[in-house]
Amino acid sequence: MPSRPPRSLETFANPAPGRDLRIHMEIPEFTCLCPKTGQPDFATLVLDYIPDKLCVELKSLKLYMWSYRDEGAFHEAVTQKILEDLARATRPRFMRLTAKFYVRGGIFTTVVAEHRKRGWKPQPVVMLDTFVTESSVRG
C-alpha cells in the first residue's frame, strides 16, 4: 500500500451504455481534517450515478477517498471537489454525492451536490406494487 495514496481516478467502459444504469455506492469511512482545528471529520459518502460511457473503478476510488485523510477541508468544499473530480473522470449522465458528516459540537452536517449532463433527461420512475401471496401470509 502506498504511504501517500494517489488522487487519480481510473475508469472502465460502461457495460450497459444503452441504459440508464443506476450505480449506488456507500463509503462509510471517509475522513478529512477540520481546517480550523485540525481535528478529524468523519463522514459517510453516498454516491449515486448514471454512467454514460465510463464507470469509476473501485480500488482507485478507495485510494482517492483515502487521499483526503490528512487534508483540511470544509464539508461543503470537499463534497463539491469530490463530485467535480468524479464527474470529470467519468462524464456521467447524472451524479449525486451526499456527504453525511458525523456530529461535531452537537451539529450533524449533510451536503448534497449534483451533476447533470447537458440535455440528459431521466427516464420516468416505475413504481411496482408489492403484493401479498397466500404463502407469505401463512409464514
pLDDT tens-digit series, residues 120-132: 888 887 788 766 6
Q: Is residue 96 part of a domain?
A: yes
The average confidence (pLDDT) of the chain is 90
Q: Number of structural domains, the chain?
A: 1
Question: Residue 52 maps to which CATH number?
Answer: 3.30.1130.10
**Residue 62 belongs to what H/E stretch?**
helix 58-66
What is the rounded distance in angstroms from the CA atom of residue 4 to the CA atom of residue 21? 33
Q: Is 28 helix (H, G, I), strand (E, B) or coil?
A: strand
pLDDT value at residue 132: 61
**What is the chain's alpha carbon radius of gyration, rounded to the nearest angstrom?**
18
pLDDT (0 to 100) of residue 91: 97
Flag whether 88 is in a domain. yes
- Tell me whether residue 116 is in a domain: yes
Catalytic residues: 34, 41
CB neighbourhood size of 62 (10 A): 13
Residue 3: inside a domain: no
Tell me how far apart the terminal alpha carbons of the chain are, to the nearest angstrom: 49
What are the pLDDT digits (tens) for 80-114? Answer: 999 999 999 999 999 999 999 998 878 899 999 99
pTM to 2 decimal places = 0.85
Q: Flag whether 84 is in a domain.
A: yes
CA 103, CA 46: separation in Å to the nearest integer?
Answer: 17
Range of the domain at 73: 11-138
> How do residues 41-65 score in pLDDT, each as one tens digit?
999 999 999 999 999 999 999 999 9
